[in-house]
Structure 1
Amino acid sequence: MYLEFYGLREFPFGLTPDTGFFFADESRRGALETLRFALETGEGFIKISGEVGTGKTTLCRYFLQDLGPEYISAYILNPQLEPRELLQAVAQELSLKLDQRLGSHRALQAINTALLQHAEAGHRVLLLIDEAQALPTESLEAVRLLSNLETEKRKLLQIILFGQPELDTRLDQPEIRQLKQRIAFSYALRPMTLAETAAYIEHRLRLAGYRGGNLLQPGALKLLHRASRGIPRLINLLSHKALLAAYGRGLRQVSRRELLQALNDTPQAHAVGFWRRLTAF
C-alpha cells in the first residue's frame, strides 16, 4: 500500500470512528461546547443531530473520553430495542445484573435505585444513545420515563441523543411530543467548508506521520470538497481512494485526475445531476 511511499505510520483516512484523529472545526467544537454547558447546568435532555457521515459517533466517543472521574456513562450504540430490552441494556451499562425476564416497570425501579446510590456517592450519570432516530416509538417513551428519575434538587440521569435529521421528524410525532418538550439543548452538525476540509486533511495526514508539502493539488482539493459536500466520512473515503490512485501512478501529489478516479469508484458521492457538473468542473 501507500504508507511507506508517502512516509505515513498509519492510514490517515480510515472509516472507523477514531478519536485519535478527532478534528474540532467550528461546528464540532460548537457541539462539544453545547454538551459541556448542558452538563454544567444539569439539564435532563440534549440532542445532537447531523447527516450521515458528519462524525456524530466520533464526537460522542471523544466527548466520553473527556469526561471527569465523577461521571458514570451508559452508552447505547444499537438502539433498535424494544422498551424492556432498552432498559436491560441501560442496566447492563450501569453494571446492574437484572433477570432477563424482568418487566419494564421492575427494571425501571432497579435503575432508579442504582441512580440514587450513584447520586449519594457524588456521581453524575449520563445515558448516551447513538443513532437515536432508530429507536422504536415505544422505546422513545421509555427514554422519557428514564428522564423522570430525579431527586427534589436535580435529575438523576442526563440523556444525550445523537441522531440523523430523521430524529427531528420522529420527535414531531404527537404521541412523543412530551419528550421533545424536555429537550433543553440541541445542536445540528453541519458539513465542513472548503477551508475546514483543507485543515481536516492536513490534520489527519500530520497525525498519521506525513511530513511533506501539500499532498493534494488545489484543483483536487476543490473537487474533493465539492464531491464530498464537506461530509467527513466521504472526505475520508475519497481521499483514501485518491491516494491509492496516485500511488499506483508513482505520484507524490494527488491531482484532479486521481480524484475523478476515486469518484468513479464511489457511487455514494454522486448526487442527482451532481456527477455531470463535477466532470465538467
Structure 2
Amino acid sequence: MYESYYGFTERPFQLSPDPRFFFATSHHQRALSYLQYGLDQGEGFIVITGPIGTGKTTIARNLLANIADENIVAAQLVTTKLAPEELLELVAAEFKIPVEGNNKADILQSIENFLVTLHNQGKRALLLVDEAQNLPAETVEELRMLSNFQLDNKPLIQSFLLGQEELKDIISAPDMEQFRQRIIASAHLKPLNLEEVKDYINHRLSQANCNKETLFSDDAFKLIFEKTLGVPRKINIFVDRLLLFGFLEELETITINAINEVAEEMAVELTGSLNGQNLTNEQKAQPLVVNSSENVENIKNVLREVEEILETSIQQKVKMTRYIDKLLKQKNREYAELQSKEAEN
C-alpha cells in the first residue's frame, strides 16, 4: 500500500486494536488507572463506558498485554445478547474449563471448582466483558452472582465491564442496586479534543517510524478533527484513506484540498448517509406525482445527484486502477533491483 511511499514500517492506522499503538489521553489514562486499581484491589467491578470508537477495547487489550502478575488468569468476552446460562457457558469456554453435564448447576459447579483450584495455586481469575451494553439485566446480575464465589474471605473472580453508554442505563436501573454497590470505580471515555487528535495522529505515525514531520500541517489536524469529531476509530479510517489518497496522487504533504476531497468521497462512511440527514416517515410515504412541475424539478435534482454519485464512483475506480498500476511498477522495480543484486553476487 502506501507504507513504502511514506517510509512507514507498517500501517499506522489499522482498525484492529494494537497495544503498541495505544495513546492515553487524560480520559484513557484515568480509565486505565481505574482498571489497574481494580487489579490491585482484587475485588469488585470496574465499569468503563464510552461512545462507539472511543477506545474501550484498546484499553482492555492494553491492560491484558501489560499484566505482569503471573498469578492473574485473564479471559476476555466480546458479548452479544447472552442469556445468563449462555454467559456461563462462554465463561467456561474462555477459561477452558471442562464441564460435566449440560445444565446450569453443572456449569456453575465446574466454574467454582476451577476458581478454587486457582486459589489453591495462589492465583485468581480476571474476566473482561467487552460490549457489555448488549447484556440483558438478568445476565449482568449473573455476573454479580459469580462474584459471590469466595474462599478465605477473598473473591475468586473479578470482572471488568466495558460498554457503550447504554450500559450506564442498565446499571442505573432500580433493581441493580446490589450490583452498583460492588462497583469500586467507573470511568467514561470521551472523543479527543483538537490537541489530542494532533498528538494521537503523531503518536501513531511515530510508532510506524514516520520521519516526515511536515506530513500534516496544523490546519490539516484541525480539519481532520472537524471531519471525525475526535472519535479515534473514525480518525483511523479517515487518515488511513488520506494516506492512500496521498500515495495515489503522489503528495509529499497531506493538503487541505486532499482532506476535503477524501471527506467528500467518504461522506457515507463518516456520517452514515450522503448528507447526514434521514428522511421522515412522512417524506418517505409521499407518492410521486409526475404531472406536477415541482415534482419534475425534484426528479431532475435526484437524477443530478445520481449522476454525481456515479461520477464519484467512476473516479474512485480510476484511482484504484492507478494505484494497482503504480503498485505493479513498484514491485517490478523491486524485482529488477533484486535480480541486479543477485547478478552482481
Per the normalisation by structure 2, the TM-score is 0.75
Aligned residue in 2 for 1:227: 227
In structure 2, C-alpha distance between the alignment counterparts of 1:58 and 1:28, rounded to whole Å: 10
In structure 1, C-alpha distance between the alignment counterparts of 2:237 and 2:28, rounded to whole Å: 20
Aligned residue in 1 for 2:143: 143
In structure 2, C-alpha distance between the alignment counterparts of 1:181 and 1:114, rounded to whole Å: 26
Cα pair 1:227 1:270 within 8 Å, conserved: no
Q: Which has the larger radius of gyration?
A: 2
Deviation at 1:268, TM superposition (A): 4.4
Change (3 A) 1:260 1:129: same
For 1:54-203, list aligned pairs within 5 A: 54-67=54-67, 68-99=69-100, 102-203=102-203
User: Which stretches of structure 1, 4 residues or more, deviate above 6 A after TM superposition?
Assistant: none
Q: Secondary structure at 1:214's aligned position in 2?
A: coil
Cα pair 2:99 2:106 within 8 Å, conserved: no
Cα pair 1:118 1:125 within 8 Å, conserved: yes
Deviations 1:209-267 (A, max 9, x none): 21112311221110111221211101111111112222222111111212212222143
Q: Secondary structure at 1:187's aligned position in 2?
A: strand
Cα pair 2:77 2:129 within 8 Å, conserved: yes
Aligned residue in 1 for 2:288: none
In structure 2, C-alpha distance between the alignment counterparts of 1:133 and 1:259, rounded to whole Å: 34
Deviation at 1:174, TM superposition (A): 3.0
Deviation at 1:140, TM superposition (A): 1.4
For 1:188-267, list aligned pairs within 5 A: 188-264=188-264, 265-267=266-268
Q: Secondary structure at 1:61's aligned position in 2?
A: helix
In structure 1, C-alpha distance between the alignment counterparts of 2:173 and 2:27, rounded to whole Å: 28
Cα pair 2:28 2:189 within 8 Å, conserved: yes
Aligned residue in 1 for 2:14: 14
Deviation at 1:275, TM superposition (A): 7.4
**Letter of the structure 2 residue corresponding to residue 16 of structure 1:** S
In structure 1, C-alpha distance between the alignment counterparts of 2:19 and 2:267, rounded to whole Å: 25
In structure 2, C-alpha distance between the alignment counterparts of 1:153 and 1:143, rounded to whole Å: 18
Cα pair 1:81 1:135 within 8 Å, conserved: yes
In structure 2, C-alpha distance between the alignment counterparts of 1:177 and 1:161, rounded to whole Å: 16
**Letter of the structure 1 residue corresponding to residue 254 of structure 2:** V
Deviation at 1:113, TM superposition (A): 1.8
Deviation at 1:137, TM superposition (A): 2.5
Q: Secondary structure at 2:150's aligned position in 1?
A: coil
Deviation at 1:54, TM superposition (A): 0.6
**Letter of the structure 2 residue corresponding to residue 250 of structure 1:** E
Cα pair 1:73 1:93 within 8 Å, conserved: no
Q: Secondary structure at 1:46's aligned position in 2?
A: strand
Cα pair 1:44 1:157 within 8 Å, conserved: no
In structure 2, C-alpha distance between the alignment counterparts of 1:173 and 1:242, rounded to whole Å: 44
Deviation at 1:162, TM superposition (A): 0.4
Cα pair 1:245 1:261 within 8 Å, conserved: no
Change (3 A) 1:275 1:110: closer
Deviations 1:118-170 (A, max 9, x none): 11211021111000000122211211111111124221111100000110011
In structure 1, C-alpha distance between the alignment counterparts of 2:121 and 2:92, rounded to whole Å: 18
In structure 1, C-alpha distance between the alignment counterparts of 2:2 and 2:40, rounded to whole Å: 45
Deviation at 1:12, TM superposition (A): 0.9
Cα pair 1:242 1:261 within 8 Å, conserved: no
Aligned residue in 2 for 1:279: none
Q: Does 1 or 2 have the higher relative contact order (CA < 8 Å, sep 6+)?
A: 1
Cα pair 1:129 1:161 within 8 Å, conserved: yes
In structure 2, C-alpha distance between the alignment counterparts of 1:188 and 1:123, rounded to whole Å: 30
In structure 2, C-alpha distance between the alignment counterparts of 1:215 and 1:122, rounded to whole Å: 51
Structure 1 vs Structure 2: percent identity of aligned residues?
36
Q: Provide the aligned C-alpha RMSD in A.
A: 2.0
Note the residue ranges of structure 1 that are not aligned, 5 or more in a row: 277-281
In structure 2, C-alpha distance between the alignment counterparts of 1:275 and 1:172, rounded to whole Å: 32
Q: Secondary structure at 2:192's aligned position in 1?
A: coil
Change (3 A) 1:213 1:250: same
In structure 2, C-alpha distance between the alignment counterparts of 1:64 and 1:275, rounded to whole Å: 37
